[in-house]
Amino acid sequence: MKKYLESAVRSISESIRFDSSLHEGTPTAPFGQGAYDCLAHFLSLAESMGFVTHNYDGYAGDVEFGTGEEFAILCHLDVVPAGGGWEKDPFGGIVEDGKIWGRGAVDDKGPAICCLYAMKALKDEGFCPRKKIKLIVGCNEESGWACIEHYKKVAHLPEVGFSPDADFPVIWAEKGILHVRLHFPITRPPFLSLSGGDTANMVCDRCEAMPRSISSRRAAAHGMQVVGKKLVSRGKSAHGSTPEEGENAILPMLSYFAEKDPDVRRVVDCLFDDIYGLKRVKDATGSLTLSPDIIRFRKSELQIVCDIRYPATMEFPAVCALLDRFQVKYEVLHRQDPLITPKEGPLITTLLAVFEECTGTRAEPIAIGGGTYARALKCGAGFGPEMPGDEPVIHRPNEYITIERVELLLKIYKRAIESL
């Protein structure tokens, strides 16, 4: 696979240069021009390799290889916003220090392109798959899955497949995902404005407020800055499914006001101090996580969008019953049911064997809080690209993928496609 490495690195770098985060859409580019151009770039690359491709109205595309029963490889080309704190251009695709830098390098442009080159390597060898491999790339995975819903309407989604958008060795279960907007009334607001966060599945790294009065001493005690008439709190972004890996900028801001205001204190009690025990709910797939990622002060209430990942064996009504304990109005913005694929089934056992063969490492299937396209399938699994012990870079500044990892992914995905 070494002869494909240089081309794969170049293609990943090119793909990163498209800002494919969600922007205002048009009739031909439903998620913004950047996402559409990124999709067109990917499909053009596949066509140059001799594959049959389809562009489904700018929502998604696919690349076909072989005939027969369909098998899916599900990837996405959209990204979360860059956010702050970058030392490299987030959309520069810079190749430096043995790494490709930029938003989407790991999540999920890099793995998508590795799968494409793995298919090319098999094709160049004369490999004739006994199934029709459909490498499907969506443009709205990070903010709603409208791409997959559209694909289901205009094309056929296979029942079995994997998504290279998570972790190795192989994922057998994914927690349920729920995004809700909670409305906490504030009777006597101690601020004129308060806002923070941009994306429901990304830990808030900046929050600011205009208080009615400022105590510089108290602000400093909470680790915040006074900038003119505003209070500014800074944190560290992370994926909403692993909020413990970030530092939520909303917490110090609310804690500052909670010292004087009981309504704000209640918000902190519910969402951060977890007085109702939501985060103590768990099963074999892990504990429930709750990440308050977007906050806005509107109409005498704090409106807070939370990313909730709940255990895979838990039913949705049971999650709602937990939220009812807050005794505030809430609305469901987005929901995805959990994924459970039998550990002993052919999909999981085959992918696990491929991982062990290519890495020389014995392993066991795992469960995660993240959500992948695999849950769109009747039988799906997450399969890479992250390894245990990797520096967490997804949804964070300075996202990168090493060239060494690209080389390994080419090897693993080629073998996986061949085996399945």
User: Which tokens belong to 90?
Assistant: 């987030």
3 state DSSP class of 338: coil
What does the pLDDT look like over 277-298, one tens digit per residue?
999 999 989 999 999 999 999 9
What pLDDT shows up at residue 276?
97
Residue 83's pLDDT band (cuts 50, 70, 90)? confident
What pLDDT shows up at residue 146?
95
Q: Domains in the chain: how many in total?
A: 2
What pLDDT shows up at residue 378?
94
Beta-strand pair 99-101/171-174: unpaired
**Is the per-residue pLDDT at 369 higher than 90?**
no
Statement to judge: residues 126 and 45 lie in one domain: yes
3 state DSSP class of 127: coil
Q: What is d(CA 267, CA 264) in angstroms, rounded to the nearest whole number? A: 5
Statement to judge: residues 303 and 403 lie in one domain: no
Statement to judge: residues 231 and 258 lie in one domain: yes
Statement to judge: residues 181 and 168 lie in one domain: no
What pLDDT shows up at residue 84?
87
Q: What does the DSSP 8-state code read for residue 247?
A: B
Statement to judge: residues 245 and 290 lie in one domain: yes
Which amino acid, residue 55?
A: N
Q: Report which of 188, 166, 172 is spatially closest to residue 338, judged by C-alpha positions.
A: 172
| Domain that residue 116 falls in | 2-173+343-419
**Is the per-residue pLDDT at 124 higher than 90?**
yes
Among 336, 358, 375, give the residue marking a domain's end: 336
Over residues 142-163, mean pLDDT? 96
What pLDDT shows up at residue 2?
83
- Residue partners of 45: CB distance under 8 A and separation at least 6: 11, 113, 116
Q: What is d(CA 334, CA 179) in angstroms, rounded to the nearest whole number? A: 5
Percent of the chain, pLDDT > 90?
96
Statement to judge: residues 229 and 308 lie in one domain: yes
**Mean pLDDT of the chain, nearest integer:** 96
At 256, which CATH number?
3.30.70.360
Statement to judge: residues 256 and 289 lie in one domain: yes
Statement to judge: residues 376 and 287 lie in one domain: no
User: Which tokens belong to 402?
Assistant: 């090493």
Q: Residues with catalytic annotation? A: 78, 141
What pLDDT shows up at residue 190?
97
What does the pLDDT look like over 306-316, one tens digit per residue?
999 999 999 99
Statement to judge: residues 238 and 89 lie in one domain: no
Residue 1's pLDDT band (cuts 50, 70, 90)? confident
What does the pLDDT look like over 327-346, one tens digit per residue?
999 999 999 999 999 999 99
DSSP 76-115: E-------S--SS-TTS--EETTEEESTTTTTTHHHHHHH
Statement to judge: residues 71 and 146 lie in one domain: yes
Statement to judge: residues 78 and 106 lie in one domain: yes
At 386, which CATH number?
3.40.630.10
Statement to judge: residues 164 and 219 lie in one domain: no
Among 310, 336, 362, give the residue marking a domain's end: 336
Among 336, 356, 381, give the residue marking a domain's end: 336
**How far does Cα 196 stand from its chain's mean position?**
19
What does the pLDDT look like over 395-406, one tens digit per residue?
999 999 999 999
Over residues 202-228, mean pLDDT? 95
What pLDDT shows up at residue 214?
93
Q: What is the pTM of this model?
A: 0.83
